[in-house]
């Protein structure tokens, strides 16, 4: 009986936390824009060199635009978890390096596949070491 | 703990470190802290010093303390739920340095940006604990008996 109460309490706590997170995510998620857009993407590599890409696309999200330009692989696009961008790897699970994404100078607060793009957006994707 | 983390490092946010901490804490109580910080030390030696080190110094304590409070209970489901909650809150717990250095905006950005990874962490912890708790507990009991 005691364990049953604990299980119910923990189950409720888990459900409440999931709902709270979902609400936080929805409140902070930016809106997608339809139609043709031109965005710029600067990839900053581990040696601090940079490469600029001007992308004309009607994609609504950054992941789709990057896939269009073959800057990311289909496999990682389908998973929504990117380690290889522009042929360079940054894998947090291997060496704690990661890709930091900013839009118009500010860090994004969603994943690449969920990041909406608007005409004129300037993205910077930086290989950030541990 | 360290070996399991390295082996599973290619699976994003899937780990059994949480489960091992649960089992070791149940069996050894306060002494489990030694295992936890040996693990943290191995991670630092492998990956070097960075912001994540600050996170690792305190984040596992939350799980350890939660289990310490109820260590007499022997229920895979309860520990699965605790592990799941811990996985879900992992990103939030790790966001503390970002709140302190970058304010509310950076902290919230960090939490929201890692939302899907926390969901993955939560699910992985729940499933791995539910299915492996009994087997690993038996192995730990055997190891303790043979000593």
Question: Distance between CA B38 and CA B22 in Å, rounded?
Answer: 16
Burial of A108 (0-12, 13-18, 19+ CB in 10 A): buried
Which residue of B47, B75, B89 is in closest CB contact with A17? B89
- Residues (pLDDT < 50) of chain B are none
CATH code of A37-128, in short, is 2.170.130.30
Give pLDDT, residue A79.
Answer: 85
- Distance (Å) from the C-alpha of residue B147 to the closest C-alpha of chain A? 31
Residues of B with CB under 8 A from a CB of A: 9-12, 47-50, 52, 70, 73, 75, 77-78, 81-82, 84-85, 88-89, 106, 108-109, 111-113, 115-118, 122
Name, in order, each residue with C-beta under 8 angstroms of B144's C-beta and a sequence gap of 6 or more. B27
Domain ranges, ordered by start, for chain A: 1-30, 37-128
Question: Distance between CA A36 and CA A57 in Å, rounded?
Answer: 6
Give pLDDT, residue A2.
Answer: 64
Give pLDDT, residue B80.
Answer: 95
Give pLDDT, residue A42.
Answer: 96
For residue A1, pLDDT beyond 60:
no
Average pLDDT (A83-89) is 93
Per mean pLDDT, which range of A15-24, A31-40, A103-112, B114-123 is the poorest?
A31-40
Q: If pLDDT is split at 50, 70 and 90, which confidence band does A94 have?
A: confident
Q: What distances in angstroms separate CA A61 from CA A47, A91, A117, B104, one per listed residue?
A: 28, 22, 5, 25
Residues of chain B with Cβ-Cβ distance to A96 below 8 Å are 47-48, 50, 52
* A9 in reach of chain B (CB within 8 A): no
User: pTM for the complete prediction?
Assistant: 0.68
What are φ and ψ of residue B123, in 5° steps? Answer: -65, -45
Which residue of B12, B81, B89 is in closest CB contact with A11? B81
Q: Tell me the ipTM for this assembly.
A: 0.78
- Distance (Å) from the C-alpha of residue A101 to the closest C-alpha of chain B? 10
Q: CA quadruple B57, B63, B67, B69: dihedral positive or negative? A: positive
- Distance (Å) from the C-alpha of residue A93 to the closest C-alpha of chain B? 5
């Amino acid at each position: 009986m005691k364990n049953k109460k604990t299980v119910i309490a923990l189950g409720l706590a888990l459900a409440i936390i999931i709902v709270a997170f979902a609400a936080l995510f929805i409140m902070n998620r930016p809106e997608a824009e339809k139609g043709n857009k031109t965005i710029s993407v600067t990839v900053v590599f581990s040696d601090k060199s940079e490469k600029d890409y001007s992308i004309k696309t009607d994609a609504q999200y950054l992941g789709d635009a990057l896939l269009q330009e073959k800057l990311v692989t289909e496999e990682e696009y389908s998973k929504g978890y990117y380690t290889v961008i522009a042929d360079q790897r940054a894998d947090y699970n291997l060496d704690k390096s990661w890709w930091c994404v900013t839009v118009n100078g500010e860090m994004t607060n969603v994943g690449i596949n969920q990041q909406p793009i608007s005409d004129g957006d300037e993205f910077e994707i930086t290989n950030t070491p541990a | 703990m360290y070996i399991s983390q390295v082996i599973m490092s290619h699976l994003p946010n899937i780990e059994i470190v949480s489960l091992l901490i649960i089992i070791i804490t149940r069996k050894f109580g306060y002494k489990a802290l030694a295992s936890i910080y040996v693990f943290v030390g191995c991670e630092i030696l492998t990956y070097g010093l960075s912001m994540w080190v600050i996170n690792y110094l305190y984040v596992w304590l939350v799980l350890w303390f939660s289990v310490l409070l109820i260590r007499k209970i022997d229920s895979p489901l309860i520990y699965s739920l605790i592990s799941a909650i811990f996985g879900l809150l992992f990103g939030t717990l790790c966001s503390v340095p970002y709140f302190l250095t970058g304010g509310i905006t950076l902290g919230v950005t960090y939490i929201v940006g890692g939302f899907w990874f926390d969901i993955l962490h939560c699910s992985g912890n729940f499933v791995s604990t539910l299915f492996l708790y009994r087997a690993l507990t038996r192995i730990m009991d055997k190891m303790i008996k043979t000593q």
